[in-house]
Structure 1
Amino acid sequence: MDDQAALPVHALCLITDHYPHALGAVLGGSAATGRVTPTSDLDLVVLLPNSDTGGREVIRHEGRLAELFLHTLADVPAVFEQDRARRRGTVLFLYDQGLPVLDPHGHVPRIQKQARAVLASGPPPLTPDEWERGRYLLTCFMDDLIDTPSSDRYEQLSLADFTLREATHLLTAHHGAWTGIGKWLPRRLLSADPVRGRALLEGHRAVAERADPAPLTAAVERTLELLGGPLREGYVLRGGLRPNR
């Protein structure tokens, strides 16, 4: 049995050892999508009885790390709503794309159906204040990136990272699409907008490889054109003191 095929068995053994009272378990992430590597951890959603307590736990089982997303049956609606509000849908996607490895009472298919319905509805739209703040931040990052000399590589690379993140946040929101962090940022970005998303990623790469901010700046300007353009003077934040960045 190859490593990919052995992972559901490994996951089931983990659940049996650590949560023998579990009502269900779903193996997600790279282990479920065929992108696993020898050092990939296991992403597992574990459904617990209502008498238990949810949370998040990282353990090592038989040499492999596993990240466990724990919640009770009664907590499912609240967990899904919280996940939706964060706009990343981490647990929702684990249920949607994951492989059931334990389901003694038939709960998992019903919960997977609920997760898919939430994913189909999309993340919540940004509020007008969130749109304005996002445009302002992205404009600031872009301007700072333009003004930073290529000799200041630490600052240039940091600004390129923040520029890409904010542009991704706004562009995915514009399309009503889910966003992501880490390795999921480029995946969600390209899924939401293959053309503009690739331009942003190639622009970020140009900064990293050639210290050239021009392609990323151009990609950001095209993104801002969709959202009302850059926002500088005229931006107002009310309701208390908060840092601008």
Structure 2
Amino acid sequence: MNKRLAPLTASMRIIEKYFPDCHGAILSGSAARGEVTETSDLDIIVFDDRLQDSYRESFIDFSWPIEVFVHNLTSYQFFFERDCREGRASLPRMIAEGTVLKDMGALKKIQDEAKALLMNGPEVWTQDTITYKRYFITDLLDDLTGSQNRGERIFIAGSLAERLSEFVLRTNRQWTGSSKWMIRSLSQYDKELADGFMEAFNHFYKTDDTKPIERAAASILEPYGGRLFEGFSLGK
């Protein structure tokens, strides 16, 4: 890590070397938040109005692994709309919370759009969607408590953690995420709930006891009618 240029310095040089005529650029991710680790890369969003289509590319330079997300001045809107539908504010968060590396006057409008999207939250789940999600959480809970295979239970628990955290966040019109952003999003919404959630799953992985997970799931589902099996229909 000591041999590397500082993240901001390296990012500026990357823009100068690869995108000298771009209209704007933003450093995002852990480097922008000051949370760099030995495995961190540099996430850079580039805006160039001469491009026909957006693209993503990974490479190594200045001793850094680098991911660039390159857009023209309108292509990012497709990803904003997709993120809103899916409830995962990946690109809007990167743009709104990143550090500006270069701006020829195009970024304020784009960042304002990203910030407004984050503030408004994702699309509201319909009652049908809530019913659908309850059913499949119930199915995972039954699989978890019914299986006698430790390996199966480990993987079922991982799927259940993702489904439950998504349910909590989306029913409260909060942005969710995948992988590390799952627990980050939950913690940002409700730190106490997130801590209890982690304790329940950590207890299971250590002891194979599913009771804390079952209690957490019951608390999450109860306001929406609890577990669901009988009467569920899909595509009838």
* Aligned residues of 1:24 and 1:48 also touching (Cα < 8 A): yes
Aligned partners of 1:231, 1:156: CA distance in 2, in Å?
Answer: 21
Residue identity in the other structure for 1:194: K
Gaps of 5+ in 2: none
Counterparts of residues 26-175 of structure 1 (less than 5 Å): 26-103=26-103, 105-149=104-148, 152-175=149-172
Aligned partners of 1:172, 1:63: CA distance in 2, in Å?
Answer: 38
Q: Which aligned runs of 4 or more in structure 1 are off by greater than 6 angstroms?
A: 2-5
**Offset of residue 162 of structure 1:** 0.6
Q: What TM-score, normalized to structure 2?
A: 0.93
Change (3 A) 1:211 1:195: same
Aligned partners of 2:3, 2:133: CA distance in 1, in Å?
Answer: 43
Change (3 A) 1:70 1:232: same
**What does residue 184 of structure 2 align with?**
187
The two structures, once aligned, show a CA RMSD in angstroms of: 1.9
Aligned partners of 1:196, 1:3: CA distance in 2, in Å?
Answer: 41
Aligned partners of 2:232, 2:188: CA distance in 1, in Å?
Answer: 31
**Offset of residue 21 of structure 1:** 2.7
Aligned partners of 2:194, 2:225: CA distance in 1, in Å?
Answer: 18
Question: Residue 209 of structure 1: which of 206, 210, 213 is its match?
Answer: 206
Q: What TM-score, normalized to structure 1?
A: 0.89
Secondary structure at 2:138 match in 1:
helix
Aligned partners of 2:106, 2:233: CA distance in 1, in Å?
Answer: 48
Counterparts of residues 204-243 of structure 1 (less than 5 Å): 204-238=201-235
* Aligned residues of 1:39 and 1:64 also touching (Cα < 8 A): no
Aligned partners of 1:68, 1:133: CA distance in 2, in Å?
Answer: 36
Aligned partners of 2:219, 2:195: CA distance in 1, in Å?
Answer: 12
* Aligned residues of 2:4 and 2:62 also touching (Cα < 8 A): no
Aligned partners of 1:26, 1:193: CA distance in 2, in Å?
Answer: 29
Change (3 A) 1:133 1:50: farther
Gaps of 5+ in 1: 240-245
Say whether residues 1:6 and 2:6 are aligned partners: yes
Secondary structure at 2:93 match in 1:
helix
